């Protein structure tokens, strides 16, 4: 700012500008207009600076009177001279070129570059009468070169390019004044907002959420329609053909319905569970028909004829299973035993062709027209299913045993333990004796070797020549001695902690365990006394 409150140092105006000669934009009349209306066009200069006459001279074309003149002096400081000969005249620089300050002025151009005198109109006073009017000194700015009035000067800021749609013919996407982001819906004119760009990830996430909601709603709606509105799919009639299925022990009605649906017996699980209601269906093997109505399937599985199916209890030996199957199928004795020698029953390789231990105890619904080999194969498949459910291979490996050794130990436990709380303890005695390289000395192994079942074992029996005689041979017998169930297998995998080495069942419900041979001998005496008393009775 200058000392007088002006902006940057004024530039010389081009003579072609209609306001040339008046930096304040005062009205400058044309010569003809000034002569015709001398009182209507006075010079308008600010009075607050105190540098100009309080009253401007008036033009008087009639009297040619000369108003009071300022003292005559030579043009200084680049002043402009105006010569009056009865009418306003064109002004020319008094010295130097246009816009060049006079060098002899006390405030020369070097001190105040770009400062110029102001020129106005003066009334006619004679042929040689002149009037010199000057602006007060101003703070100098950088010198300007003469230039046309419409060219930018050194202090001009370049105009910003127009981006409004009115000037660029671009489509106005934000209305006349741009986006409105004020809290009350109003915005300042000219303010524009940046367009928000939605990322592809956000759009994808929104789509996934929307699709999940639609899918979830559709599934819920479908289930509601299926359960409350739609008719449950079901077959009609008693079905045709024959199919044998195995139902695991403890299976729920929904699990049984799934097995029946997968094998084509019933059309839907919901129809079967609705028909069964609260009817209890035991695990076992069933011979059913395909495409049966749910009600017919439930009736057949719960009928007395189905309940008279072949049942294999825990601890039965293979020879006992063969005899039961011959009787059930109405075959001659030995028919099923001979079938084991000529048919592939699907035994695992480590069984060495011996079905003992793999005829899983369960309830089997076997058709009267079934072949013995087919019935045995069904039992073996059931055993492998149960072993897998017990995770037999992995658990056996975890305790350093093979699956076949676990089955053998389980068969010994099944034969020796008579109460549920004794299974884990009997298992611990077997493991402790094996660890100390002691003979197992189990009477059940002698009975198996001799093909009998008795509680009385004599001294001669303990010398019976057989690899299954655990009085003569240390370690496990060469194979299972019966077909164990789940409880015995679980005890073989997880024996009860203890240091017992001996046990004996003195009487039903009284099995005594000890790690002392002397105490064991006393328990044996008690057992013999009990047996003697009951044999005498």
pLDDT at 85: 43
Q: Which of 92-101, 366-375, 505-514 has the highest mean pLDDT?
A: 505-514
Same domain, 421 and 534: yes
pLDDT score of 69 more than 60? no
Residue 82 forms beta bridges with which residues? Answer: 131
* Terminal-to-terminal C-alpha distance of the chain: 138
DSSP per position, 269-326: HHHHHHHHTT----SEEEEEEES--HHHHHHHHTSHHHHTSEE--TT--HHHHHHHHH
Quick check: is 90 in a domain? yes
pLDDT score of 39 more than 90? no
Can you say how many angstroms the Cα of residue 460 is from the centroid of all Cα atoms in its chain?
Answer: 73
Quick check: is 317 in a domain? no
Residue 434's φ and ψ, nearest 5 degrees, are -65, -35
User: Three-state DSSP class for 510?
Assistant: strand
- Out of 308, 337, 365, a domain closes at 308
Same domain, 480 and 415: yes
Same domain, 18 and 166: yes
pLDDT score of 5 more than 80? no
For the residues 481-488, what does the mean pLDDT come to? 96
Among all chains, which residue has been given the structure tokens 């109109």?
121
pLDDT at 467: 96
Q: In whole angstroms, what is the distance from residue 286 CA to residue 396 CA?
A: 32
pLDDT at 49: 45
For residue 174, the enclosing domain spans: 1-178
**277 touches 305 (CB < 8 A):** no
Element (H, E) at 503: strand 502-507
pLDDT at 509: 87
Quick check: is 367 in a domain? no
Same domain, 151 and 207: no
User: pLDDT digit string (tens) for 79-125?
Assistant: 444 444 444 444 444 444 444 444 444 444 444 444 444 444 444 44
Q: What are the C-alpha distances in Å from 327 to residues 34, 149, 320, 376, 409?
A: 148, 130, 11, 14, 30
pLDDT score of 303 more than 80? no
Same domain, 256 and 210: no
Same domain, 145 and 224: no
For the residues 208-214, what does the mean pLDDT come to? 84
pLDDT at 169: 55
Q: Give percent of the chain with pLDDT exceeding 90.
A: 43
Q: Does the predicted model carry a pTM greater than 0.95?
A: no
pLDDT score of 363 more than 90? no
Following CA atoms 72, 77, 83, 87 in sequence, which dihedral angle do they give, to the nearest 10 degrees?
Answer: -110
Q: In whole angstroms, what is the distance from residue 453 CA to residue 450 CA?
A: 9
Structure tokens at 392: 């037999």
DSSP state, 229? I
Mean pLDDT value across the chain: 75
Structure tokens at 95: 């010295």
Quick check: is 518 in a domain? yes
Structure tokens at 373: 């080999």
Residue 216's pLDDT band (boundaries 50, 70, 90)?
A: confident
Neighbour-count burial for 284-310, b at 16+ CB within 10 Å, e otherwise? bbbbbbebbbbbbbbebbeeeebeebb
pLDDT at 532: 87
pLDDT at 13: 52
Tally helices (H) and strands (E) across the chain: 16, 9
**82 touches 121 (CB < 8 A):** yes
Element (H, E) at 380: helix 372-389
Q: Where are the alpha helices (DSSP H) in 436-507?
A: 443-450, 486-493
User: pLDDT digit string (tens) for 146-156?
Assistant: 555 455 555 55
User: pLDDT digit string (tens) for 392-419?
Assistant: 999 999 999 999 999 999 999 999 998 9
Q: Which of 15-19, 84-88, 180-184, 410-414 has the highest mean pLDDT?
A: 410-414
Taking alpha carbons only, the member of 78, 43, 75, 76 closest to residue 59 is 43
Rg (CA), the chain: 61
Same domain, 525 and 485: yes
Residue 240's φ and ψ, nearest 5 degrees, are -135, 165
Same domain, 22 and 93: yes
Same domain, 125 and 47: yes
Element (H, E) at 206: helix 200-224
Same domain, 20 and 158: yes
Same domain, 87 and 118: yes
Quick check: is 327 in a domain? no
Please count the structural domains in the chain: 4
The domain that holds 287 is classified in CATH as: 3.30.1490.480
Quick check: is 434 in a domain? yes
């Amino acid at each position: 700012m200058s000392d007088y409150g002006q902006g940057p140092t004024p530039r010389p105006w081009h003579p072609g500008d209609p306001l040339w000669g008046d930096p304040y934009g005062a009205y400058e009349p044309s010569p003809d207009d000034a002569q015709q209306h001398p009182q209507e066009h006075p010079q308008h200069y600010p009075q607050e600076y105190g540098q100009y006459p309080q009253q401007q001279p008036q033009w008087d074309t009639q009297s040619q009177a000369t108003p009071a003149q300022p003292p005559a002096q030579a043009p200084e400081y680049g002043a402009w001279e105006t010569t009056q000969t009865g009418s306003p005249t064109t002004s020319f620089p008094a010295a130097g070129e246009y816009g060049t300050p006079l060098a002899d002025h006390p405030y020369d151009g070097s001190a105040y570059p770009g400062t110029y005198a102001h020129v106005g109109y003066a009334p006619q006073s004679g042929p040689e009468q002149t009037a010199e009017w000057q602006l007060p000194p101003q703070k100098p700015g950088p010198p300007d070169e003469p230039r046309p009035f419409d060219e930018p000067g050194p202090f001009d800021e370049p105009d910003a390019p127009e981006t409004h749609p009115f000037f660029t013919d671009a489509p106005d996407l934000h209305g006349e004044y741009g986006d409105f982001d004020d809290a009350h819906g109003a915005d300042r004119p000219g303010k524009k907002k940046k367009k928000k760009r939605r990322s592809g990830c956000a759009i994808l996430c929104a789509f996934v959420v929307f699709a999940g909601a639609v899918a979830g709603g559709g599934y819920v709606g479908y289930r509601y329609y299926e359960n409350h509105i739609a008719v449950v799919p079901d077959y009609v009639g008693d079905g045709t053909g024959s199919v044998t299925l195995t139902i695991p022990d403890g299976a729920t009605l929904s699990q049984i319905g799934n097995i029946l649906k997968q094998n084509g017996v019933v059309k839907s699980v919901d129809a079967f569970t609705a028909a069964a209601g609260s009817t209890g269906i035991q695990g076992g093997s069933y011979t059913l028909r395909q495409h049966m109505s749910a009600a017919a399937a439930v009736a057949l599985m719960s009928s007395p004829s189905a309940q008279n199916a072949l049942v294999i209890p825990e601890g039965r030996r293979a020879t006992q299973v063969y005899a039961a199957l011959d009787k059930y199928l109405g075959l001659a004795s030995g028919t099923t035993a001979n079938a084991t020698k000529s048919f592939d029953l699907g035994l695992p390789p480590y069984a060495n062709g011996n079905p003992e231990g793999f005829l899983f105890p369960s309830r089997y619904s076997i058709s009267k027209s079934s072949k013995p080999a087919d019935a045995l194969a069904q039992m073996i498949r059931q055993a492998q299913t149960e072993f897998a459910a017990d995770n037999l291979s992995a658990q056996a490996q975890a305790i350093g045993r093979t699956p076949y050794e676990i089955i053998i130990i389980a068969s010994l436990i099944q034969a020796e333990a008579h109460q549920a709380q004794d299974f884990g303890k009997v298992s611990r005695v077997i493991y402790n004796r094996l660890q100390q390289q002691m003979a197992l000395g189990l009477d059940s192994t002698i009975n198996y070797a001799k093909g009998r079942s008795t509680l009385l074992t004599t001294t001669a029996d303990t010398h019976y020549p057989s690899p299954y005689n655990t009085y003569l041979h240390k370690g496990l017998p060469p194979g299972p001695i019966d077909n164990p169930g789940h409880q015995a297998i679980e005890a073989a995998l997880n024996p009860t902690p203890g240091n017992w080495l001996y046990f004996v069942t003195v009487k039903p419900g009284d099995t005594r365990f000890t790690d002392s041979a002397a105490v064991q001998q006393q328990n044996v005496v008690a057992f013999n006394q009990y047996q003697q008393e009951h044999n005498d009775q």
